[in-house]
Structure 1
Amino acid sequence: MAGPGRAVPGVRRRPVPGRAGAAAVRHGGRDGPLRGGEGAQLGRGRQHRLDHGHRLPAALRRRAAVRRPVPGRRRGLRRARRRAGRRLRRAVPPAGDPARACRSRRQPPGSGGRLTAIATSARPPLRRTQAERRAATREALVRATVESLVELGYARTTTQEVQRRAGVSRGALTHQFTSKAELLLAAVDHLYEEFSASVRQAAADLPADSTLRIRLGVEVIWERFHGPLFVAAMELWGAARTDPELRAALLPYERRLNVQLRELSMEVFGERVAGHPKSEAVYQVLLTSMRGQALTYALQPDAPRTGPHLQHWATIVEAFTA
């Protein structure tokens, strides 16, 4: 059986008349396009024939006026850009069009065709001021110092550790605090503010009866000796013994803190203790005894926090103010 392109004995090929305007080329058989013959142009794309000046067949000549696509502006790219623009317009409706602001393209099943509000906002977030950013940085550094001081102690609370916990740069830390002692005192000051706020809130709930108020006031003050303020102060006291710079910074700070703590204690115990001539002696005896007991519990974390010492402290206060 003769294959395509082979002559058949006794059979003459009938010439195919050419059409008007058609390219006068020889097809060249099945191997014409493969070997680059004249028929190779039929196996190439329309754009290639346009670029090289070939005559188009009649079926393609009518489409020869179509412009070549500009690089970067192909049809698929233009469609993608149009779709992205439509999505953006749906997500951010124009101002003054509340109907479009509440319109959603897809309704949830079972909504019955009701409009679904979409939470969109065309306003950009407000930029914080320089003062707000500085305050936020200072607060982050102080809180990181408190955490490190309570968890790791004074020796392992370095400026690098505080910087890592706060997530700020070295320059931001040195801009806020010029020394480690200043940073530590700011942390203690922050703890005292939280301590005083909690004590005042508890004092507001104490009864007016003086005897009952004294007993409950002793419990309120004793509970605060188990918090982070006492732990941080204990770390600083121990370090100040051998650190002259820290001791020089801590002494005036400790005096001021004692005055504030005394006023807070008198507010807890009420007028009976605060107005008594021996109120200062009561405060000093009570504060010294509670500090010593809290140090004992620091070495024995599993020991019970309540015991007969609470009753003894209440009896001492009542005896001094009788």
Structure 2
Amino acid sequence: MDALTTRAPKQDRSRATRRKLLEAAVSCLAERGWSGSTVSAVAERAGVTRGAAQHHFPTREDLFTAAIEHVAEEWLDAVRERARALPRDGESRTRAVVDMLVGVYTGPLFRAALHLWVAAADEEQLRPRVNALEARIGREAHRLAVEFLDADESVEGVRESVQATLDMARGLGLANLLSDDSARRAGIVRQWSRILDTVIHARPEQPPGS
């Protein structure tokens, strides 16, 4: 067996261990918050040793920022895949896109990320990483929302309305943290989708006499 053949299984195992740690970190953060999410707790949940965890992620900050980034990338890939099944156009598509965005902010990824953001307010060494990560994910979420809504941001009010959709989704996610807010949320999503659709598909005013 040559060195290349031997190396491949080791690399596969290393990648598998890294993935287990990242997924365990997100679920741990979502359930226990920052104070309860130690490297040891994540390693135990992932079924690996603390030493193995620290081999991949030397610091706690490395582990949890990488975990949120990893799951966010997976979410973006899943959203792109789900977008293929969206209605072609019209208000039904707008509603489906808003539903999809709100679903992200009411899921475990948002809950985990929220704990990380709150921790960053007090943890000086964590703050720059979280700020950079939040900015990058925010830009990509906005870009995908514009793409899926087929929105023309050169039209007055459209960019602000798309951003308001993301801000609303984040707010609904916060409201859902303490109790099941699904009934109220469904009515808000339905009404906002109607409003957003009229903004995105508004016809330009015709000049008098045209």
TM-score class normalised by the smaller sequence: 0.7 to 0.9
CA offset digits 1:58-108 (Å, max 9, x no partner): xxxxxxxxxxxxxxxxxxxxxxxxxxxxxxxxxxxxxxxxxxxxxxxxxxx
CA RMSD of aligned residues (A): 2.1
The structural deviation recorded for 1:149 is 1.1
The structure in which a higher percent of residues are helix is: 2
* 8 A contact 2:26–2:67 mirrored in 1: yes
* 8 A contact 2:102–2:172 mirrored in 1: no
* 8 A contact 1:203–1:268 mirrored in 2: yes
Q: Which residue of 2 aligns with 1:266?
A: 146
TM-score of the superposed pair, with normalisation by structure 1: 0.56
* 8 A contact 1:146–1:232 mirrored in 2: yes
The structural deviation recorded for 1:304 is 2.3
* Aligned: 1:298 with 2:173: no
* Aligned: 1:207 with 2:68: no
Residue-pair matches, total:
195
CA distance in 2, matches of 1:288, 1:213: 19
Of structures 1 and 2, the larger Rg is shown by 1
Q: Which residue of 2 aligns with 1:318?
A: 197
Q: Which residue of 2 aligns with 1:90?
A: none
Q: Which has the higher contact order (CA 8 A, sep 6+)?
A: 2
Cα 1:130–1:195 change in 2 (3 A) is same
CA distance in 2, matches of 1:237, 1:316: 30
CA distance in 2, matches of 1:318, 1:206: 15
CA distance in 2, matches of 1:177, 1:287: 31
* Aligned: 1:281 with 2:160: yes
TM-score of the superposed pair, with normalisation by structure 2: 0.83
Q: Which residue of 2 aligns with 1:150?
A: 30
CA distance in 2, matches of 1:220, 1:179: 34
The structural deviation recorded for 1:275 is 5.1
* 8 A contact 2:142–2:162 mirrored in 1: yes
CA distance in 2, matches of 1:159, 1:175: 11
Gaps of 5+ in 2: 203-210
Aligned pairs (5 A) from 1:157-176: 157-176=37-56
Which of residues 10, 13, 18 is equivalent to 1:138?
Answer: 18
- Identical positions, percent: 32
CA distance in 2, matches of 1:218, 1:302: 16
The structural deviation recorded for 1:276 is 4.5
CA distance in 2, matches of 1:241, 1:135: 31
* 8 A contact 1:141–1:173 mirrored in 2: yes
Cα 1:288–1:306 change in 2 (3 A) is closer
Q: Which residue of 2 aligns with 1:189?
A: 69
Q: Which residue of 1 aligns with 2:104?
A: 224
CA distance in 2, matches of 1:283, 1:189: 23
* Aligned: 1:246 with 2:126: yes
The residue identity in structure 2 corresponding to 1:291 is: R
The residue identity in structure 2 corresponding to 1:144 is: A
The structural deviation recorded for 1:170 is 2.6
* 8 A contact 1:142–1:186 mirrored in 2: yes
Gaps of 5+ in 1: 1-125
